[in-house]
Structure 1
Amino acid sequence: MAMNASTDKIRDHFERWYSALRRYHGIPAKGTLAGALVVLNRLKTKCELNIEAHTAKGKSQIVGASGAAVRKILVEFNETRPLLVEGGRTNRGLRGDIASLLAALKKAELCKELPQNRVRAIEQMQAFLVKQIQDIHARSRIEIDFDPSSTSQQFVKTVLSAAHELGKHGPVSEYLVGAKLQLRFPMHTIENKISSAADQPRGRSGDFQIGDTVFHVTVAPGPLVYEKCRTNISNGLRVYLLVPEVTAVGAKQNADQIAEGKIAVISIEAFVSQNIDELGQFDSKLEKHEIARLLFLYNQRVDQVEHDKSLLIKIPAVLDNS
């Protein structure tokens, strides 16, 4: 972060603050980056370094740290990709992180700078944060191999295996199922939500719903998902429980204990691949094209809502031209 000599102290205190932030998978919380961008923006016009001046009425949220506000700032720095859906409002540690930022800037005597110098210093701090956000977007994608002699189901299994090695098989499974439903039912609106969002707080019956059928996607079926299935059935819905192939037999046994014959338990691998074969008319060249479409939709859905861009899949070159 390059600054002129008169603002070296500001740079030093700011970078110390940034270096001290807690890391998650090697990066600070996205909510903290978003909230800092918004608060810094406000300091351009009113240099108030008391945390209370930036705290919402409930004392736990930062004023103005919405997704729309963050996007507006990012666009000013020529960054059009979304950071996260809710800006910085839902990050529990955000208030403390912003309080420490303001304390650092107070020590740096930011407010004693001439207005034009203060704005310049703030813009350079924001540029630094935007660069960190761009680095998040640039994180390595999931790499997979494509063997044209393998079945579509084996290909999906390969994708999930690669994701499992990176500890990302949960969200990858959900986005894959969403992409498959969008591919198969283009006339329906298939909801796209960040994979970590819970069902119940948003009044949702499951991960996806088409007509009167609800779909639950989980890599570790436990009591909670079975209870959701029971509730779905009580509400007159039909239920699909999609799980990894290795857990399908056990999940089916558990589902039958909850509501025998009323919960369709299918492996994620089989569910996703079935329509690839059908849409490809069981022709290897056409199936290859459908796999490419599936991965394109998957990446599109991830990029629309997910702040962890390392969930994106690097499409093999042999498919990229399909």
Structure 2
Amino acid sequence: MTGDELTPPALSAEALADLEALVDGGRFATTGPLAIALVVVDRARGRDMPLDAFDFRAANSAQVAGAGGVAANRILRRHGVTNSLGSEGGRTSRGSIDRMEELVALLNRRHAAGDLDLDAVEAFWVQKARDYFNTTPIAFRADPALSLRMALRELLAQAELRQKSMGGVMIVGAVMQHIVGAVLELSLGQGGVTHHGSNQNDAKGRGGDFELEDAVLHVTNAPTAQLIGKCRANLDAGGRPVIITNPKPLIAAEVLADAEGLGGRIEFVDFEQFVCVQLYSLGGFKALDVRSQLTRLIEIYNAIIDQVEPSPSLRVALGG
């Protein structure tokens, strides 16, 4: 099963409906309940059927046995999911015992119906965990003790983790594109720049991600020979191509441009420096005002995501 499949092939229609009914209402929508579900299904392996819910209680009977986030995370790793459900999981959450008993009852129903497949049920809960991770905003910890550059680097690191969990969906480049778009809007004012979805190919008549007067901006985490070809087309049309990317890809892009004889005609800009300089300038180089601009940047970024992207997984949650 791939991460893009909604249901495991071995799960019967009746079993799927039973599981979805259990999920309805959001009772298994957060980290604790998801950890409970994964651990209960895993611990059900090798036990006699029908299951006894009491066997899934810890010694003090007030917690679900083994339902910590660490155990749930190990199960996720088996399925290639690198995100974490935390360390405590659902052991002490209010309602944990009730949720465990509901799931045990469901497993017993499916056993009685003759369509219980614990591998398929586990895959169902792993997919629910993926869905949770993929709709949770990307965490952006803006520690005042750190430089803006380091904060941005951490944001892209979190975006890369999200990218790995989403099976190859290009998250990092999309985050970079819309952060640049938000910075431009901060600088130029609302309506000063047009935003496009990250999966939209450059439409006819549009030479890059952003067009501002003569400048054509290309924001990318992985410059390619094809991008250099677009820059040549920009130049032929009278535009001034600007490639905004990260430090290491920046060097590779310059090499590609040199190979095409365009090294002296394309602007190459470090993404982190571009964003930092703009925020410092807008904040008048005063620490509190710069941080205020950063907060505003994320607000504009999230508004852009809501406007042009189909998935909320690109949204960013700003924390201290």
Q: Tell me the TM-score range normalised by the shorter chain.
A: 0.5 to 0.7
Q: 1:136, 1:309 within 8 Å by CA — same for their partners in 2? A: no
- 1:203 and 1:139 map into 2 onto residues whose CA distance is 33
Tell me which of the two structures has the higher relative contact order, counting C-alpha pairs closer than 8 angstroms and 6 or more residues apart: 1
Matches within 5 A, 1:187-206: 188-199=191-202, 201-206=203-208
Q: Does 1:305 pair with 2:301? A: no
Indicate the residue corresponding to 1:238 in structure 2.
Answer: 240
How many residues align? The count is 191
Deviation at 1:310, TM superposition (A): 1.0
Q: 1:137, 1:309 within 8 Å by CA — same for their partners in 2? A: no
Q: Does 1:277 pair with 2:273? A: no
- 1:187 and 1:261 map into 2 onto residues whose CA distance is 33
Structure 2 residues without counterparts, runs of 5 or longer: 1-12, 21-127, 164-170
- 1:256 and 1:287 map into 2 onto residues whose CA distance is 37
Letter in 2 for 1:153: R
Q: Does 1:226 pair with 2:222? A: no
Q: 1:232, 1:238 within 8 Å by CA — same for their partners in 2? A: yes
Matches within 5 A, 1:116-135: none
Q: Does 1:156 pair with 2:152? A: yes
Deviation at 1:312, TM superposition (A): 0.3
| Secondary structure at 1:206 match in 2 | coil
Deviation at 1:210, TM superposition (A): 0.5
Q: 1:216 to 1:286 in 2, by over 3 A?
A: same
| Secondary structure at 1:170 match in 2 | helix
Q: 1:190 to 1:300 in 2, by over 3 A?
A: same
Q: Does 1:183 pair with 2:186? A: yes
Q: 1:225 to 1:285 in 2, by over 3 A?
A: same
Q: 2:136, 2:313 within 8 Å by CA — same for their partners in 1? A: yes
| Bigger mean CA offset, 212-221 vs 179-188 | 179-188
Q: 1:153, 1:274 within 8 Å by CA — same for their partners in 2? A: no
Indicate the residue corresponding to 1:295 in structure 2.
Answer: 298
Q: 1:215, 1:239 within 8 Å by CA — same for their partners in 2? A: yes
Q: 1:212, 1:238 within 8 Å by CA — same for their partners in 2? A: yes
| Secondary structure at 1:221 match in 2 | coil
- 2:197 and 2:133 map into 1 onto residues whose CA distance is 16
Q: Does 1:266 pair with 2:262? A: no
- 2:191 and 2:214 map into 1 onto residues whose CA distance is 13
| Secondary structure at 2:135 match in 1 | coil
| Secondary structure at 1:166 match in 2 | helix
| Secondary structure at 2:264 match in 1 | coil
Letter in 1 for 2:294: I
- 2:190 and 2:173 map into 1 onto residues whose CA distance is 27
- 1:154 and 1:254 map into 2 onto residues whose CA distance is 28
Q: 1:152, 1:277 within 8 Å by CA — same for their partners in 2? A: no
Deviation at 1:248, TM superposition (A): 1.3
Structure 1 residues without counterparts, runs of 5 or longer: 1-10, 19-131
Letter in 1 for 2:214: D
- 1:170 and 1:139 map into 2 onto residues whose CA distance is 18
Indicate the residue corresponding to 1:210 in structure 2.
Answer: 212
Letter in 1 for 2:158: A
- 2:153 and 2:245 map into 1 onto residues whose CA distance is 12
- 2:228 and 2:212 map into 1 onto residues whose CA distance is 19
Q: 1:274 to 1:192 in 2, by over 3 A?
A: same
Q: 2:139, 2:158 within 8 Å by CA — same for their partners in 1? A: yes
Indicate the residue corresponding to 1:247 in structure 2.
Answer: 249
- 1:260 and 1:224 map into 2 onto residues whose CA distance is 15
| Bigger mean CA offset, 288-297 vs 266-275 | 266-275
Q: Residues 2-54 of structure 1, C-alpha deviation per residue, up to 9 Å, x if partnerless?
A: xxxxxxxxx97x969x9xxxxxxxxxxxxxxxxxxxxxxxxxxxxxxxxxxxx
Q: Residues 141-187 of structure 1, C-alpha deviation per residue, up to 9 Å, x if partnerless?
A: 10121121222222222211111121121111111111111111116
Deviation at 1:188, TM superposition (A): 4.8
Q: CA RMSD in A?
A: 2.7
Q: Residues 49-76 of structure 1, C-alpha deviation per residue, up to 9 Å, x if partnerless?
A: xxxxxxxxxxxxxxxxxxxxxxxxxxxx
Q: 1:186 to 1:250 in 2, by over 3 A?
A: same
Identity %: 29
TM-score (ref. length: structure 2) = 0.55
